Structure 1
Amino acid sequence: MTVGARDKNWRYRLAAERGALAAAVIFTIMFTVYGAAQPTGLSSDVVNTAANKGALLALVAMAQTVPVLTGGLDLSVGMIFMLTNCLASVIVTGSPAMTILGIAGVLAAGLACGLANGLIVVYGRLQPLIATLATSAIYFGIALALRPQPGGDVNGDFADLMTRSTYGVPSSVVLIVGAVVLIWMPYRNSTLGRAAYAVGSSEQAAYMSGVPIARAKLCAYTLAGLFAAVGGLLLTCLTYSGEARAALGGDYTLNSIAALVIGGTSLFGGSGGVVGSVFGAFVMRTVGDLLVVFNINPVLQPLFVGVVLLFAVSLGSLRLLRVRNKLDLYR
C-alpha cells in the first residue's frame, strides 16, 4: 500500500469515527469538571461508581446501535435489559458451577429475545418500531412473572468481580472494552457487519448488490439482545436483586437512543458505531453527576440532557443538509 493510499485510508477512518471522537472529547471535558468539583477529586471510589452507572446505559446503547445501523429501531432493548436482570436474580446463584450455568442462561435468554425480534422484523415483514414495541410488552410480562415483587439474589463473588476496581480500573470498564473488542469488532469486520452498514445506507442498493439483507438484520437484532443481556447481568450485580418496572425499561430504551445520537450514529442507519454510543452514554450519565456536585435540582436533568442531545443532533443535521450521497460523509 502506497503512502497516499494509507493517508486516504486514515482520513476515511477518522471521518467515519468523527461522531465518536466528538463524544469522547465532550465526555472528557465534562468528567474533568466533575472530578475538579469533587472534594476528594477523582478517587478510585468516585471513578468506580461513575463507571458502574455509565456502563449500564452504555451496554443498552450498544444494543440499540446495532439495529439502528441497519435502518431499524429496537424499542425492546430496555425490556430485554430488565427481563435479564430479573432472570439473573433467579438463576445466577449458588455454587460457582451453578453461577456459570446461570450466566449462560441469561445470555441465551437475551439472544433468544433478540432473535425473536429479528424473525418478526425480517420474516413477519413488520416495521421494526411496531414489532419491537409489541415484543417489549411481552418481555415485560415475562419479567413480571419472574419477579412480581422486587427481590432475588446473585452470587456474591461474581457480583464483586463485576463491580469492583482492580488497580484503579473499574471492572465495568473492562467489561465494556471486552464487549467492544470481543463482540463488536469481529462483528464490524465480518461480512454481516459490513452488510448491516450497507443495508442502512441503502437497502435497495444493497439488495441489487447481492448483500444478505435478511441475515444482516437478523444478526443485528440478535446481537442487540446479547448486549442488553450483559447489561441486565451487570444491573443484577450492582443491586443484588431483580425488579420488573415498566418505567425502568422505558427510560433505558429512550436514553439509549439519545446516547447513540450523541455518539454520532445516524438514526437513518449506515453510519456510526457502538464506541460512540458508549461515550454518548457516559456523557448523559455525567450530566446527572454534574447537577449533583453543583447543587442543581436533579429534576432539571432532562432539560440539560435535552440541550446536549439537541446540540449533538443539530451538528449531525447541519452536515447531512449538505450531503446528497451518504458516501460523501467519509470524503
Structure 2
Amino acid sequence: MIIRMLRAHMRPLTAWAVLALLIVYYLSIHPQGLSIGVLTAWSNQGTALALLAVGQTIVVLSRGIDLSIGPIMALTNCMASHLVNGSPVEVANGMILVIATGAACGLLNGLVIVIGRMQAIIATLATGTIFSGIALIVRPIPGGDISEGLSDFFSGDLGGLVPMSLIVILGAIAAWYPIRKSVLGRTIVAVGSSEAAAYASGLRVKRAKIGAYVLAGVFASLSGLFVGFQTLSGDPSIGLSYTLNSIAAVVIGGTALTGGAGSIAGSIAGALILRTIGNLLFFNDIEPLAQPLFEGLVLLVAVSFGAARLLRMTSRMEAFQ
C-alpha cells in the first residue's frame, strides 16, 4: 500500500525532495545561516508565485492553460494599491473587491473558452492583453498605497517561529482539498482525464471548465494581494514573468499538461524551487545581467520536459486508436 502511494505521488514527492536539498544548500551559503528572518524572507519571495501556481494547476487539471493569469495578478495588484487601505472596513471591502475582480476575470476566460469555443491558449492570450491594458489604466506607473498593518502581518512571522507567508502557502494547500473532494473538483479532474467520458457520465462539463478558470482568477487575485503586501504598491508590468514561471512550476511539480493528474502541493514545491534557484544565483555571485539567462534555461528545461511528456502520452494514445 505504501509503495503504491509513493509511486502515485512520485513526481510531487521528488519536487519536495529537490526543494529540501536546495533549501539546505541555500541556508549553508547564506551569511546569516538558519534564522527566522532568513526563512521569512525566503518564504515571502516564493508565496506570490506559489499562489499563482495553484491557480494554474487547477486550470491544467481541466486540460486547459491560462496565459492571462499573470495579467490578472497585475490587475488585481494595481486595484489593491487603490482599494486596500484606510479603515479596517475599507480594507476589508477593498480585499473583497480585488478578489471579486480576479473571479470575474476568470469567469470571462471560462465563458470565452467554453461558450465561445476558442482554444484556451488563444483566448487567454487575448484576455491577458486586455487585463494588462486595464492594469495600465488603473495604475499607469508603479505606486499607490496598501495597508501597512496587513503588510506587516503577512510578511512577518508568527511568534518568531513560523513565517506568516508559509502559513499562507499551507492554507492554499488546505483550501484545495475540500474543493478537490467537491462535485466541482471531481468534475474538473474528470474533464481533464477524458472530457467525452465525463460528458457521457452526465457530469456538468461546461460548468467545471468555467469553474476552473474562476478559481484560477481567485488565486491570481490572492497572489496580486500578496505582492501588494510585500511592496506596499501596485505595478502593472509584473504579469509576464509570473505567467511563464507559473507554468514551469506546474511542470516541475509533476502535473501533467494533458490534464486529469497533478498535485497542488507539487506545483507549490515547483514555485519555491524556482525562487530558491534565483536566490542561489544571487548568493553564488552570478552577474546580475547573467541571472535571467540561467533562469531562462531552467524555464526552458522545465517546459520542454512537460512538452516531451505530453508528446509521449499523445503518441501512446494514437497507438491504441
Give the TM-score taking structure 1 as reference length.
Answer: 0.89
Q: Aligned ranges for residues 31-180 of structure 1 at < 5 Å?
A: 31-166=23-158, 167-180=160-173
User: Relative to 1, partners in 2 of residues 1:318 and 1:131: Cα closer, same or farther, differing over 3 Å?
Assistant: closer
> Which whole-Å CA distance do the structure 2 matches of 1:151 and 1:237 have between them?
13
Identity rate of aligned residues, in percent? 46
For the Cα contact (< 8 Å) 1:264–1:316, is it kept in 2? no
Instruction: Please state if 1:278 is matched with 2:268.
Output: yes
Deviations 1:96-122 (A, max 9, x none): 111111111111111111111111111
For the Cα contact (< 8 Å) 2:248–2:303, is it kept in 1? no
Shift of 1:205: 2.0
Deviates more, 1:309-318 or 1:154-163: 309-318
> Which whole-Å CA distance do the structure 2 matches of 1:107 and 1:64 have between them?
16
Shift of 1:294: 1.3
2:280 match: 290
Instruction: Please state if 1:190 is matched with 2:182.
Output: yes
Structure 1 gap segments, 5+ residues each = 1-6, 326-331
- SS of residue paired to 1:60: helix
1:28 match: 20
Letter in 2 for 1:274: I
User: Relative to 1, partners in 2 of residues 1:258 and 1:315: Cα closer, same or farther, differing over 3 Å?
Assistant: closer
User: Relative to 1, partners in 2 of residues 1:12 and 1:191: Cα closer, same or farther, differing over 3 Å?
Assistant: farther
> Which whole-Å CA distance do the structure 1 matches of 2:93 and 2:53 have between them?
26
Shift of 1:320: 8.1
Q: Which runs of 4+ in 1 moved over 6 A?
A: none
For the Cα contact (< 8 Å) 1:262–1:309, is it kept in 2? no
1:310 match: 301
- SS of residue paired to 2:261: coil
> Which whole-Å CA distance do the structure 2 matches of 1:312 and 1:258 have between them?
6
Letter in 1 for 2:212: A
User: Relative to 1, partners in 2 of residues 1:32 and 1:309: Cα closer, same or farther, differing over 3 Å?
Assistant: farther
> Which whole-Å CA distance do the structure 2 matches of 1:156 and 1:165 have between them?
15
For the Cα contact (< 8 Å) 1:74–1:129, is it kept in 2? yes
Instruction: Please state if 1:231 is matched with 2:223.
Output: yes
For the Cα contact (< 8 Å) 2:62–2:191, is it kept in 1? yes
Shift of 1:300: 3.6
User: Relative to 1, partners in 2 of residues 1:280 and 1:257: Cα closer, same or farther, differing over 3 Å?
Assistant: same
Counterpart of 1:207 (choices 192, 195, 199) is 199
- SS of residue paired to 2:14: helix
User: Relative to 1, partners in 2 of residues 1:308 and 1:236: Cα closer, same or farther, differing over 3 Å?
Assistant: closer
- SS of residue paired to 2:86: coil
User: Relative to 1, partners in 2 of residues 1:16 and 1:188: Cα closer, same or farther, differing over 3 Å?
Assistant: farther
Deviations 1:241-269 (A, max 9, x none): 11111xx2111001110011000011111
1:328 match: none
Letter in 2 for 1:195: T
Shift of 1:12: 5.1
Aligned length: 314
Structure 2 gap segments, 5+ residues each = none
> Which whole-Å CA distance do the structure 1 matches of 2:192 and 2:217 have between them?
19
Shift of 1:313: 5.6
For the Cα contact (< 8 Å) 2:78–2:236, is it kept in 1? yes
User: Relative to 1, partners in 2 of residues 1:56 and 1:204: Cα closer, same or farther, differing over 3 Å?
Assistant: same
For the Cα contact (< 8 Å) 2:258–2:310, is it kept in 1? no
Once superposed, what is the RMSD of the aligned Cα atoms? 2.1
> Which whole-Å CA distance do the structure 2 matches of 1:212 and 1:319 have between them?
26
User: Relative to 1, partners in 2 of residues 1:313 and 1:266: Cα closer, same or farther, differing over 3 Å?
Assistant: farther
User: Relative to 1, partners in 2 of residues 1:302 and 1:208: Cα closer, same or farther, differing over 3 Å?
Assistant: farther
Shift of 1:64: 0.9
> Which whole-Å CA distance do the structure 2 matches of 1:316 and 1:77 have between them?
20
1:258 match: 248
Deviations 1:40-59 (A, max 9, x none): 10221111111111111111
Deviates more, 1:225-234 or 1:300-309: 300-309
User: Relative to 1, partners in 2 of residues 1:117 and 1:276: Cα closer, same or farther, differing over 3 Å?
Assistant: same
Shift of 1:61: 1.1
For the Cα contact (< 8 Å) 1:93–1:102, is it kept in 2? yes
Letter in 2 for 1:229: S
Letter in 1 for 2:115: Y
> Which whole-Å CA distance do the structure 2 matches of 1:173 and 1:29 have between them?
18
